[in-house]
Amino acid sequence: MKKKLIVANWKMNPTTLKQAEGIVKRYKDVSNLVVCPPFVFLNSIKLNKVQLGAQNCFWLNEGSFTGEVSPAMLKSIGCKYVILGHFERRSIFKEDNKTINLKVKACLKSNLNVILCISELKQLKKSLDGIERLNKVIIAYEPAWAIGTGKACSASLAEKKRLLIKELFPSCRVLYGGSVNEDNYLDYNNFDGLLVGELSLKKEFNSIL
């Protein structure tokens, strides 16, 4: 039986390298943890077992795309995972399912594991259209209204969504994300793991590892 996968999404935090190194030092060095810091701190994760992930990437490996980071670049510095389609990318940066689909295909081609975030099931089929290597795709269900609000999804509703996702894509692992904390994480024990935001920056994060 696989261990629960715990993904730490730091988002645009912290502001200094010293702070980033301090967060990492607090973590348990466990193989089921994926740490996804901002791009500038990716090389600061210095634990033996913890796996490295990115929060986003572009859909081509090189070219005249100022400010973008490619799957090949991520792979070259040891990344094994990449988060795609997060609600914040969809809502703030207006990424649509077509764009996310291109990114998923590019990451799989570079042999990266994709953590595909969805808040609605209709996003799922379009984001995974034409993709066959589903064994390297992990689906994270994050209801939009739960992200960063402190109001997590009820266990019963989350379970309904998990079952629907597994029915559509039975070979994919399914994570729960959205206001996960040290008091409610066990509510999502039927999931294959968790995508954790704010809590992953705090010392209490170790309690769920």
Q: Render pLDDT for 65-111 as a digit per residue (tens, 0 to 9).
A: 999 999 999 999 999 999 999 999 999 999 999 999 999 999 999 99
User: Which run of H or of E encompasses 97?
Assistant: helix 97-109
Cβ count within 10 A of residue 168: 13
For domain 5-208, say whether CATH 3.30.9.30 is its number: no
Sequence spans of domains, the chain: 5-208
88 is catalytic: no
Which residue out of 21, 62, 68, 86 is catalytically annotated? 86
pLDDT for 150: 86
Neighbour-count burial of 2, counting CB atoms closer than 10 A to its CB (0-12 exposed, 13-18 middle, 19+ buried): exposed
Distances (CA, A) of 160 to 34, 154, 184: 26, 10, 17
Please check whether residue 79 is in contact with residue 107, taking contact to mean a CB–CB distance below 8 angstroms. Answer: no
Q: From CA 206, how far away is CA 107, in angstroms rounded? A: 29
What integer is the mean pLDDT of 35-59? Answer: 95
Q: What is the pairing mode between strands 113-118 and 137-141? A: parallel
- Confidence band of 137 (pLDDT split at 50, 70, 90): very high
pLDDT for 30: 95
Q: What is the pLDDT of residues 153-198, one digit of tens each?
A: 999 999 999 999 999 999 999 999 999 999 999 999 999 999 999 9
DSSP classification of residue 15: S
pLDDT for 46: 87
pTM exceeds cut of 0.95: yes
Q: From CA 173, how far away is CA 29, in angstroms rounded? A: 22
pLDDT, averaged across the chain: 95
pLDDT for 133: 83
Q: What percent of the chain has pLDDT over 70?
A: 100
pLDDT for 127: 97
120 is catalytic: no
Which residue out of 88, 95, 120, 142 is catalytically annotated? 142
pLDDT for 103: 98
